[in-house]
Chain A
């Protein structure tokens, strides 16, 4: 084996999907025994690159070297054999299996042709102890919190003997405290001589944990530099290609009358467990209220209850003075709700239907778009064309199926439909998930314009920066409760982080440095 300080070298990697070039001539190297960050915007090609490195995709051009040896990775099996391990962004655990069964999936210890459960459990215990990754091997994964699931994913990689660990956006689902715990574990790995590749679009994390950083933009490498030599604003420039200001836009208006009033609200999730607990708040005209929190702390259920898609188990909701807690989605829309749903493909569009019908869904039954139960095609097309223009949805015809649009344009279609409703309350759930930075800016501007127009806006987002930039007040949800309220102009990430982790009370009292957390996406 050739002597080389590099664990991984990627040279001239190009990968195309149809006409789209996801990776263009990418070359960079990862030094053995350090944390190497790969940072870039959504859509910069990070995940594609890592899938190539892990054998999930084959590059169209270029070579991959592991420990100086050129290798041909046809499948993840090859990568695993070479000591690579990957912790995916979306966990690939099987809910009905135990932690140990998940960890050993594919390499189960066997005895007499049957799976040797005891041996697996013993090994999990041993590894847990060695790296401080506490996991109960016999627990069924379905019942475990996300933080533990990630540990299981990491253990999965370790039992396969990985010495080079790739983590794809590992912190997206973690609280700041869980994140710190993860970094401690990663540092333990490095101390043990292992190599870590850390993919993120979050600047601060990268600055905190990595020794070297490679920046990707639009499928190309911008540069690879020691992290210590980089400043935050420099990193942003490299990522985005231009300067981005983190200033909060000025807000002149004063909050007006309450539009949405939620009091003592409880709701259960699909499994019948309490998901929203005793939530009370109001949203006023001319106001954006942000709901922050780690994903899965009841935000989804709360949004569903408000929009009429889920029945509350207790409490009252009033919209424009009318009780809506038992009303149908259509009735609530008629009273004044517009709703950008969290998952656009699942709730937000009919992907096979043309854009024009998707643009009018929810008011298609009203004049002029329909009369006496008959759709009025001309009116629908006219309105759709108008919205496509106003919201800059990139398409050549409103007759095209929605699925032909890019993710950002689909999201703009949803936003166009909802923001053009005659509704004075906007429920905006993860408005910029997975869209490019251009579309994100446009959507943010549109949200701010709605506020200036006097609408009341409830903004759910798991992206803290988004909430900090847009909201006038921030409510933090933890395990279904609103655990605290903070003022975005005076709060710190530390304060919100503690609330997101469920630490309430005076420890997190507002006092403050006005510094805003950075991060462009």
Chain B
């Protein structure tokens, strides 16, 4: 699936989004230049802050890879958020309950997170593959269920005695090692980067990846060319969900070391839009994920230093997507007429 035009036009659109964002900031009564400067300062102002940016980028990046896998195959997995919650919770469960040596414990916790993510998308995947049930709505709605359900588990079944709504902390043997003393930044970042490179080669160089991509751009042609569509849809959705689960696992095992209510607000969604913005290209998704991580990280300082709330960056993200989504060709009018468009979904 291709959503957007060329990189040049995307840059123009990005600029436009920042300008509109400035107008909104002015409307709120703040100075946009100060705001953007504060964002940058918050994101890059010190080694700690840079590490913070990378820390915020990590789950967005992995979630973005989950979305890439689905989008490239012509499938809309908007439920990465839910898979992330399930993965995060499952990893915590393994992390605090099983005393194992680290070389077993950490991989096991990751694998269970992956399985939880895949399991969470399995039913929508089955109905999409077998009966062509719309996956956009089913995966979105499951996000709500995942958040509620993990909260319920946490508060009613696995609550840390005496604690707030959170599970007991995971054992050290299941933790992802951190990279620096001064930050919670951990090896999860490299998992994200490795996934991006892996997916890049998968889509470009492998038979299976070629078939997935072909299915994404013309399903009937892929079917004609010998691709087993149903199996492929099911598999690719499971893989997408599995990576979503991994994003949650990394967040639990690397950052929070426990599962708690509202533990990763919006990372899944950010991943989805990072992938959208990157046109579902895994390597570009790394960049867009870093960009969104920067916004998130910078927004913390924004909230401290100005009267703005950090949600202003959510607005900015949405504006960027909206501006970039417009299929405007610079210099020449679009050539498709209304009749050529496919309106049916």
Contact = CB atoms under 8 A, between A and B. Distances in A.
Do A and B form a real pair? yes
Interface of A: 307, 309, 328-330, 333, 339, 341, 346-353, 357, 361-362, 364-365, 370, 373-375, 377
B228 to A, nearest CB: 6
Contacts of B213: 353
B226 interface: yes
Contacts of A357: 210, 214
A375 B206 contact: yes
B210 A349 contact: no
A364 B206 contact: no
B210 A347 contact: no
Given A350-B221, A362-B224, A373-B206, 4 more contacts: A329-B226, A350-B217, A352-B2, A377-B205
A332 to B, nearest CB: 9
B223 A349 contact: no
Contact of A347 (B207, B217, B221): B221
Contact of A375 (B2, B210, B220, B224): B210
Interface residues of B, number: 20
Contacts of B107: none
18 contacts: A309-B224, A329-B226, A330-B227, A341-B224, A346-B220, A346-B221, A350-B214, A351-B218, A357-B210, A361-B225, A362-B224, A362-B225, A364-B207, A364-B211, A364-B225, A365-B226, A374-B207, A375-B210
Nearest to A369: B207
Interface string B215-242: 0011011111111100000000000000
Interface in B168-219: 205-208, 210-211, 213-214, 217-218
A233 to B, nearest CB: 38
Nearest to A380: B210
Nearest to B208: A373
Given A330-B228, A350-B214, A352-B217, A374 B206 contact: yes
Contacts of A374: 205-207
Given A329-B226, A333-B226, A348 B221 contact: yes
Chain B: interface secondary structure? helix
B207 A370 contact: yes
Q: Which of B210, B220, B223, B224 is most buried by chain A, counting CB atoms within 10 A of its CB?
A: B224
The 9 A-B pairs at the shortest CB distance, nearest first, are namely A330-B226, A361-B225, A362-B225, A350-B218, A347-B224, A365-B207, A370-B207, A350-B217, A329-B226
A307 B208 CA distance: 22
Nearest to A331: B226
Contacts of A373: 206-208
A374 B218 CA distance: 21
B343 to A, nearest CB: 13
Given A352-B217, A361-B214, A339 B224 contact: yes
Given A347-B220, A348-B221, A374-B206, A353 B226 contact: no
Contacts of B210: 357, 364, 375
A348 B222 CA distance: 9
A349 B220 CA distance: 9
Contacts of A346: 218, 220-221
